[in-house]
Amino acid sequence: MSTTPSQEDYIEAIWILIQNKGYARVTDIADRLGINNASVSKMIQKLDEDGLLIYERYRGLNLTQEGYSLGLHLSKRHQMLESFLQSLGLTDTEEIDRTVEGIEHYFSRNAMKKISNLMEFIEAHPEWWEEFNQWSKQKS
């Protein structure tokens, strides 16, 4: 199933809320995404129709297995890109978050695998990465 960047933002937010609180309510999702409750309700109905979550009015919502798997994938993708940007020397958490939010929907699974491989290589060869960072500072 193909999802839009907006749908991915909702699924990721719902997944994170469920992981942190054990549940996700419309108001929690709206607060997290900085939007109004009516917009959240509309998208929840769409995600329910698409089989990514089960929504019972006045009772709450739960992710389906497909929705849960997608949420996990989206959360890992987000964390990987945050780590990647931090490895590049970015330290401002707001800048990192804005950058990740701006780019995360446009990386293919193959591109993410390549970034993951690079991150593993960096962990295994910190001296190489430190040399790169020193070289990069000279270029700035």
- Domain range holding 41? 5-69
For residues 132 and 105, membership in a common domain is answered with yes
pLDDT confidence of residue 2: 85
Q: What is the pLDDT of residue 48?
A: 95
Domain count, the chain: 2
- Whole-number pLDDT of residue 133: 85
Distance CA 113, CA 77 (A): 10
Please state, for a pLDDT cut of 90, what percent of the chain lies above it.
81
**Which DSSP letter does residue 59 get?**
T
Are 81 and 127 found together in one domain? Answer: yes
First to last CA, the chain: 42
pLDDT at 139: 85
pLDDT tens-digit map of 19-42: 999 999 999 999 999 999 999 999
Residue with tokens 């890109």: 81
Provide, rounded to the nearest whole percent, the portion of the chain with pLDDT above 70: 99
Q: Which of 34, 69, 104 is the last residue of a domain?
A: 69
pTM score, whole prediction:
0.85
Q: What's 85's domain CATH number?
A: 1.10.60.10
CA neighbor of 75 nearest in space, from 9, 128, 21, 140: 9
What does the angle CA 136 – CA 103 – CA 65 come to, to the nearest 5 degrees?
130
Helix axes 5-21, 37-49, angle to 10 degrees: 100
Give the per-residue pLDDT at 18.
94
Provide the CA 122 distance to its chain's centre, in angstroms.
22
From CA 22, how far away is CA 138, in angstroms rounded?
47
| Residues of the chain falling short of pLDDT 70 | 1
Together in a domain, 65 and 91? no
